[in-house]
Amino acid sequence: MVKHLAGRSPGHKETVVDRLEKNVFPWIGDRSIRDITASDLLQVVQRIESRGAQETARRVLGICGQVFRYAVSLGRAERDPSGDLRGMLPKRENSKAKHHASITEPKRVGELMRAIQGFTGSHVVKCALQLAPLVFVRPGELRGAEWREIDLDDATWRIPDHRMKMKDPHIVPLSRQAVEILRSIYPLTGHGKFVFPSLRTNARPMSENTINVALRRLGYSKEEMTGHGFRSMASTLLHESGWPHDVIERQLAHAERNSVSAAYNYAQHLPERKKMMQAWADYLDSLASGAKVVPLFHKTA
């Protein structure tokens, strides 16, 4: 395994090993690689899928395939059984949807958080950059945030239905870190309508390209990270850390079009979402500090 990962970044190595230790080794780690079958691998990825972590399942299967192919080259395995599982995993939802580049390796996430902290442009833009990973709403929902939607004392941001993609109202529990950012910008923009107004006029929100331009200024290309990528970042790492799929999806405002009313969905899982959002903010702080060992911030039953 060590030789297989030679030449990769330390962050990538840590992510690969972490995914194997969490998702593969507990089930087949004590088996000879020669004896592991496609059926064994299928059971591994199905366990991951059962948590709602479809993307993690794909990545783990890909890692296993790389390990098997390396073992074949060393004569320690006859073949790569992961190839037998092609087409077995469900297709990605809305496969025609635009791909949004995102950073999901914990060490690189920490590097991104530190880069954001060091942003030297407009303070308003910096605050938007800092808030984006903490709330992981859609870019349009972030830049159009209005002060009347936000209750700092209650640490809650209520986005009305007309501003949501799915046209359902949405609650964003605010972590202590998010509230601190908003309080810091209030003296600058609190007299107006928008939390993040345009640099040219307070009558309009910042432009739709502002966050992406700021990321480019920090040195991240459009193939590496986008404003929308903060959502994928949160979804991937929260799933991998064991938070319930339904709680994550509700916080991402991925509406389920069924008989459940919008009014019910609005506050669904709210106590758990509040805990998750604070734990997520603390986790990002740990990564930003460069901590070598970041504790798992949610334990499944």
Which listed residue (8, 31, 114, 165) is catalytic?
165
- Asked if 100 is an active-site residue, the reply is no
Which listed residue (148, 264, 292, 299) is catalytic?
264
Give the span between the Cα atoms of 130 and 226, in whole angstroms: 14
- Asked if 298 is an active-site residue, the reply is no
Give the span between the Cα atoms of 89 and 7, in whole angstroms: 30
Which listed residue (8, 79, 222, 254) is catalytic?
254
Closest CA to 170 of 159, 185, 155: 159
- Asked if 70 is an active-site residue, the reply is no
- Asked if 245 is an active-site residue, the reply is no
| Residue 54: partners with Cβ closer than 8 Å, 6 or more residues away | 89, 90, 92
- Asked if 12 is an active-site residue, the reply is no
Residue 118 — φ and ψ, nearest 5°? -95, 5
Which listed residue (138, 170, 239, 250) is catalytic?
138
Give the span between the Cα atoms of 183 and 127, in whole angstroms: 10
Whether 167 and 161 have beta carbons less than 8 Å apart is answered as: yes
Which listed residue (108, 231, 239, 250) is catalytic?
231
- Asked if 283 is an active-site residue, the reply is no
Give the span between the Cα atoms of 25 and 27, in whole angstroms: 5
Catalytic positions, written as ranges: 138, 165, 228, 231, 254, 264
